Amino acid sequence: MAAVIEAKGLTRHFGGLRAVDGVDFSLEHGEIHGLIGPNGAGKTTFVSLLSGRIPVQSGVITLNGEDITHLPAHLRVRKGVAYTFQITSVYPRLSVFDNVALAAQSRGAADVPAEVARALAQVGLTGLDLSIAGTLSYGHQRLLEVAMGLALRPSVLILDEPTQGLASGEIDGFKALIRSLVPQTTILLIEHNMDVVMDLADRITVLNFGQVLAVGTPDEIRRNRAVQDAYLGGDHAAG
């Protein structure tokens, strides 16, 4: 598979903190790629570098071979990189329809109502289009944010902790949703729920102290001694 996004030597320090410290990374076309690591490992900073929310101090990011290292976030969105819960956020006083419509309009969709209906159907929110976003349950608001991301028609969708706050039944629905998006959409999944990551991911990258600790299939990551010691030990071992 060809790399959709490739990063070489990405670095971002905050004072003395090496949040991202020389990270190499590849996101291959049509895959679901999990990004895991202990709290403070640098995951959020890393995906903020990929999405353009935080500038890179050193290193190179390419999208389908094009250097996007210094491209701002809104231009990366236009090129097909959507970062949900960062690029998108729910407007609580607007309707569900209007929230998704704003995302569709931002990329110049020709038939906005059709795009909204498609995105809401994908996440299972059909029939809630007239509801005020702020009145939805927390889980439904998370799904609305995913719908807003999908309305951008991204080639790469970065999902940051998407199952947080979802009930177990909703998580099953979410996993089915993610599987339905590939291979048309390539997924980067930042997730603390190990069952979700191990079940969905084709490959997993483990960050620790701002560096790549391991990359591999779920089985390879489960068996990796360094990963077990740093992250999967104890309560996580069965996950």
- Domain range list for the chain: 3-78+156-165+186-233
pLDDT of 133-182, one tens digit each?
999 988 888 889 999 999 999 999 999 888 887 888 888 888 999 999 99
CA distance 92 to 12: 33
Contact predicate 210/20, CB 8 Å: yes
**Per-residue pLDDT reduced to its tens digit, 114-135:** 999 999 999 889 999 999 999 9
Bridge partners of 3, per DSSP, are 28
Please write the tens of the pLDDT for every residue from 16-33: 889 999 999 999 999 999
| pLDDT > 70 in the chain, percent | 95
3-78+156-165+186-233 is a CATH 3.20.20.450 domain: no
CA distances from 64 to 24, 48, 107, 137, 230 (A): 16, 18, 19, 37, 33
- Band (pLDDT 50/70/90 cuts) for residue 86 is very low
φ and ψ of 163, to 5 deg: -90, 0
- For 33-68, what is each residue's pLDDT tens digit? 999 998 888 998 999 999 999 999 999 999 999 999
Instruction: Report residue 237's pLDDT band, with 50, 70 and 90 as the boundaries.
Output: very low
Residue for token digits 């990063």? 7
Residue 211 has a pLDDT of 94
Q: Residues of the chain with pLDDT > 90: what percent?
A: 67
